[in-house]
Amino acid sequence: PSYNLSLATSGEEAIELVKMELAKGNHFAAGFFDIRMPGGIDGYETIKQILELDQDIYCAVVTAYTDRKVSQIRSLFNSTHQDHFLYFKKPFSSIELEQTALSLVSAWNRKQSEAAHIDECARANLELQLEVRERIKAEDNLKQWEHIFKHAGWGIATSIDGKTLPLPTLFMRKCTATL
Q: Which amino acid is at 152?
A: A
Q: What is the pLDDT of residue 164?
A: 59
Q: What are the tens digits of pLDDT across the range 134-157?
A: 999 989 888 888 777 676 655 555
Rounded average pLDDT over 150-172: 57
d(CA 39, CA 42): 8
Rounded average pLDDT over 95-102: 92
Rounded to the nearest 10 degrees, the angle between the axes of helix 43-53 and helix 11-23 is 10
Q: What is the pLDDT of residue 37?
A: 80
Distances (CA, A) of 83 to 17, 50, 105, 111, 173: 23, 16, 13, 11, 73
Number of H helices, E strands in the chain: 5, 5
Which residues make beta-bridge pairs with 65? none
Contact at 8 Å (CB) between 92 and 81? no
Q: What is the pLDDT of residue 178?
A: 41
Binned at pLDDT 50, 70 and 90, residue 159 comes out as low
Strands (E), 28-163: 30-34, 58-63, 85-89, 154-158
Q: What percent of the chain shows pLDDT beyond 90? A: 52
Binned at pLDDT 50, 70 and 90, residue 160 comes out as low
Q: What is the pLDDT of residue 173?
A: 47
Q: Which of 62, 33, 27, 54 is nearest to 45 (CA)?
A: 33
Q: What is the pLDDT of residue 177?
A: 43
Q: Mapping DSSP to helix (H, G, I), strand (E, B) and coil, where does residue 119 land?
A: helix
Binned at pLDDT 50, 70 and 90, residue 179 comes out as very low
Q: Is the pLDDT of residue 66 over 50?
A: yes
Distances (CA, A) of 40 to 35, 36, 44, 62, 172: 12, 10, 12, 18, 88
Q: What are the tens digits of pLDDT across the range 26-58?
A: 999 999 999 888 788 999 999 999 999 999 999
Reported as type and span, the H/E element at residue 99 is helix 94-151
Mean pLDDT, the chain, integer: 84
Identify the residue with better confidence: 156 or 177. 156
Q: What is the pLDDT of residue 118?
A: 96
Question: Edge to edge, what strands does the sheet with 58-63 contain?
Answer: 30-34, 58-63, 85-89
d(CA 91, CA 79): 30
pTM of the model: 0.68
